[in-house]
Amino acid sequence: MVSDHEIIQAVLRGDRERYGELVSRYQLAAWKLAYSFVGNFEDAKDLSQNGFVKACQNLAQFRGRAEFSTWLYRIIVNECKDFFKGRARQPEVVPLSSQTDGEEPFLFDVADRSGDPRVAAANRELGAQLSQAIRSLPMKQRTVFVLHHLHGMTLEKVSEVMGCRWGTV
């Protein structure tokens, strides 16, 4: 497998079509990240595409001190922040459950392995309460939560994406 660094070097030497390899490699993860913030398929698609365009336009500024994916995710997080600033509204929480029954979407779909309807109802209520608590977090804290707990990034990577020290995260 060709490394990100090799692809980036080829793009910087003029082989612009190779950038498509990076897009293919990170497209789904970029879209999921944007969707985690905006909760809308079309907006997430636009924001992740904007992130790839900005990354391509600024590829010469990529220093390689972090992984390309970390640098790209930081661009996408910034795109999402700009999206909310431009619309002067708070982000919605992403529904991980496909069934919201007309209720406000929520992040947590607590698994019910027992099959007991009472347990399922209690788990659904727990998911709704957790989602409401996360929804009330300030944007920086929500960003840390989404990147670390929903996208599985290490705290070190989250600190790189957010541009702050690990201890701050």
Give 20-77 pLDDT, tens digit per residue.
999 999 999 999 999 888 878 889 999 999 999 999 999 999 988 889 999 999 999 9
Confidence of residue 7 (pLDDT cuts 50, 70, 90): very high
How much is the average pLDDT of 159-169?
85
3-state secondary structure of 67: coil
| Segment 136-149 mean pLDDT | 85
Share of the chain above pLDDT 70, in %: 81
Q: What is the mean pLDDT of the chain?
A: 81
pLDDT score at 93: 44
Q: What are the tens digits of pLDDT across the range 94-110?
A: 445 444 444 445 555 55
Cβ partners under 8 Å of residue 12, min gap 6? 59, 60
Alpha-carbon distance 60 to 55, whole Å?
Answer: 9
**For the chain, how many residues are written?**
169
pTM of structure: 0.65
Burial 135-144 (b: 16+ CB within 10 A, else e): beeeeeebbb
In this prediction, residue 126 has a pLDDT band, given cuts at 50, 70 and 90, of confident
- Residue 126 makes CB contacts below 8 A (sequence gap 6+) with 108, 110
98, 11, 3: which is closest to 58 by C-alpha? 11
Q: What is the dihedral of CA 67, 91, 49, 55, to 10 degrees?
A: -40
Q: What is the pLDDT of residue 53?
A: 95
